[in-house]
Amino acid sequence: TPVDACDFTVFGGTGDLALRKLLPALYLRDRDGQLPEGFRVIGVSRADVDDDGYRALVADALREHVVAEDLDAAVVERLLDRLHHVTLDVADVAAWHQLHDRLKDGAASDDVIRVFYLAVAPGLFGTICEHLDEAGLVTERSRVVLEKPMGTDLATAQQVNASVGRVFEESSIFRIDHYLGKESVQNLLVTRFANTFLEPLWNSRWVDHVQITVSESIGVGERGSYYDRSGALRDMVQNHLLQLLCLVAMEPPTYVDRETVRDEKLKVLQALRPMTPELVDRDTVAGQYTAGLCDGSPASSYADEVGHASSTETFVALRTEVQNWRWAGVPFYLRTGKRMPERVSEIVVVFKEPPHAMFPHSEGPTEPNRLHIRVQPDEGMRLHMTAKEPGPGGIRLRPVSLDLSYATAFGGRSPDAYERLLMDVVRGNTTLFMRRDEVEAAWTWVAPILERWSQPSHRPRKYPAGTHGPVAAVTLIERDGRSWQETE
Give yes or no for residue 160 binding ligand NAD (CB under 6 A).
no
45, 187, 213, 467: which one binds ligand NAD (CB under 6 A): 45
Give yes or no for residue 235 binding ligand NAD (CB under 6 A).
no
Q: How far is the CB of 92 from ligand NAD (least distance, A)?
A: 8
**Distances from the Cα of 405 to the Cαs of 266, 380, 412, in angstroms?**
30, 4, 12
Residue positions annotated with a catalytic role: 240
Whole-angstrom Cα distance, residue 433 to residue 143? 13
119, 160, 248, 269: which one binds ligand NAD (CB under 6 A): 119
Is 182 annotated as contributing to ligand binding?
Answer: yes
3-state helix, strand, coil in the chain (%, to 5): 40, 20, 35
Chain residues 83-112 in contact with ligand NAD, contact rule CB under 6 A? 88-91
Give yes or no for residue 471 binding ligand NAD (CB under 6 A).
no
Whole-angstrom Cα distance, residue 241 to residue 347? 10
Neighbours of 110 (CB within 10 A): 13
Is 388 annotated as contributing to ligand binding?
Answer: no
With beta carbons less than 8 A apart as the criterion, state whether 290 and 301 touch: yes
Q: Give 52-99 as a DSSP string.
A: HHHHHHHHHHHHHHS-GGG--HHHHHHHHHHEEEEE--TT-GGGGHHH
Is 308 annotated as contributing to ligand binding?
Answer: no
Q: How far is the CB of 379 from ligand NAD (least distance, A)?
A: 20
Q: Give 188-213 as a DSSP string.
A: HHHHHHS-SSSGGGSSTTTEEEEEEE
Give yes or no for residue 181 binding ligand NAD (CB under 6 A).
no
Give yes or no for residue 24 binding ligand NAD (CB under 6 A).
no
46, 78, 398, 461: which one binds ligand NAD (CB under 6 A): 46
Give yes or no for residue 147 binding ligand NAD (CB under 6 A).
yes
- Residue number, 271 or 446, with CB nearest to ligand NAD: 446
Give yes or no for residue 6 binding ligand NAD (CB under 6 A).
no
Q: Say which residues have a Cβ less than 8 Å from residue 304's Cβ, sequence separation at least 6.
A: 291
Stretch that binds ligand NAD, among 14-22, 196-204, 284-292, 429-437 (CB under 6 A): 14-22
Binding site for NADP(+), by residue number, is 46, 89-90, 148
Can you give the binding site for ligand NAD, defined by CB under 6 A?
Answer: 12-18, 45-47, 88-91, 119-122, 124, 147-149
